[in-house]
């Protein structure tokens, strides 16, 4: 059994991670930490886990982490970077669900996150944990930077067409919508029910932190630098991301459907839907799937890719477990084979 530690498990991502790990056939959750809830039973904070986990929250500095094989960090940004170096020296493997190790450039990271990176020497060692792109590197990695939720949906939509060179990489627009859980579990006025119900708005149009993460990865896929316009929106639902991605085709006579089906034919969590489909977020709710559909309106030169994921699962905790499976040589689908929740 793989001995697992989860640092910072009181948010929605941490809860989702525990939900997946307690039923994983080859993982044992050894320690769960929280500064604010230390000493309290995990099941008292998360009643949904009653009967599945009997641990109490420990302090994040607990020596119990040293007994683990892998430690997940489900912490706020700029937290994991202070603790990861010592754990790596102790021989542990790390999967960080925050943004601390996603960017390779320390100055760029500081620009977006407002402080100096505390472990900049590890940025080049961290493997970006998108299995559909970096599976071989993940298998050998000791430090995996789990992708953000928006980047997961957008990058998966673009991989086949950028690799094939069939679109103008300067023409890409990603219009993405997220459920409120993407903002985290913290209590903030703009995220409460009265403020978010029956309304719909864009935010961070001038620049979102995930933009740099997307561009860093997308720039490795083609021969030219990518220009991406990314506009996120908040919608009044709990879970899910719907990304509508637009790009200009370089040639009109291209079988886009076959291109996507061929690129993802061996990917267990990518569902390329039949031509003309319109995937919705409910169809992936609570699952590790990404569903994709390609459209060319009016047979013109604009390609539209629809991409849906659950932001807490494929966009965070599910993908983290998928990465753990790869890092330890397990069946990649272990602990992740359940169907989506519906309704």
CB burial of residue 325 (10 Å; 0-12, 13-18, 19+) = buried
173: β partners: 229, 246
Structure tokens at 304: 């539209």
Q: Do 286 and 310 contact (CB within 8 A), yes or no? A: yes
Tell me how far apart the alpha carbons of residues 138 and 142 are, in angstroms, rounded to a whole number: 8
Q: How far apart are CA 240 and CA 282, in angstroms?
A: 8
CB 178 within 8 A of CB 200: no
149 is catalytic: yes
Residues 68, 149, 194, 215: which is the catalytic one? 149
Distance CA 62, CA 167 (A): 50
Phi, psi of 253 (to 5 degrees): -90, 75
Tokens of 124: 């080049």
Name the strand (E) or helix (H) holding 243.
strand 241-248
The secondary element (H helix, E strand) that includes residue 257 is helix 256-263
Three-state DSSP string of 161-208: HHHHCCECCCCEEEEEEECHHHHCCCCCHHHCHHHHCCCCEECCCCCC
Nearest to 283 by CA among 274, 295, 292: 292
Catalytic residue set: 149
């Amino acid at each position: 059994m793989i001995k697992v530690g989860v640092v910072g498990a009181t948010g929605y991502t941490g809860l989702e991670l525990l939900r997946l790990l307690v039923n994983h056939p080859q993982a044992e959750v050894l320690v769960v930490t929280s500064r604010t809830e230390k000493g309290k039973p995990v099941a008292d904070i998360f009643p949904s886990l009653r009967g599945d986990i009997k641990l109490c929250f420990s302090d994040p500095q607990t020596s119990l982490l040293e007994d683990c094989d892998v430690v997940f960090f489900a912490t706020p940004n700029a937290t994991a970077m202070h603790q990861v170096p010592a754990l790596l020296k102790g021989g542990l493997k790390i999967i960080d669900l925050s943004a601390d190790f996603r960017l390779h450039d320390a100055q760029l990271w500081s620009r977006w996150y407002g402080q100096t990176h505390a472990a900049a020497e590890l940025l080049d060692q961290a493997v970006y944990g998108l299995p559909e792109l970096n599976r071989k590197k993940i298998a050998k990695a000791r430090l995996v930077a789990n992708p953000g939720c928006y980047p997961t949906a957008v990058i998966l939509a673009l991989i086949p067409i950028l690799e094939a060179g069939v679109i103008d990489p300067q023409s890409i627009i990603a219009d993405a919508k997220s459920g409120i859980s993407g903002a985290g579990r913290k209590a903030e006025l703009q995220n409460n029910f009265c403020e978010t119900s029956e309304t719909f708005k864009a935010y961070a149009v001038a620049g979102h932190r995930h933009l740099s993460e997307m561009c860093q990865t997308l720039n490795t896929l083609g021969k030219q630098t990518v220009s991406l316009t990314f506009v996120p929106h908040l919608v009044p639902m709990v879970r899910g991301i719907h990304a509508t991605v637009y790009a200009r085709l370089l040639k009109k006579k291209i079988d886009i459907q076959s291109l996507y089906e061929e690129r993802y034919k061996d990917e267990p969590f990518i569902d390329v839907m039949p031509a003309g489909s319109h995937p919705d977020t409910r169809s992936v709710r609570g699952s590790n799937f990404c569903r994709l559909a390609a459209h060319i309106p009016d047979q013109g030169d604009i390609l539209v890719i629809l991409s849906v994921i659950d932001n807490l699962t494929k966009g965070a905790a599910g993908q983290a477990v998928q990465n753990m499976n790869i890092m330890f040589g397990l069946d990649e689908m272990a602990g992740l084979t359940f169907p989506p929740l519906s309704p």
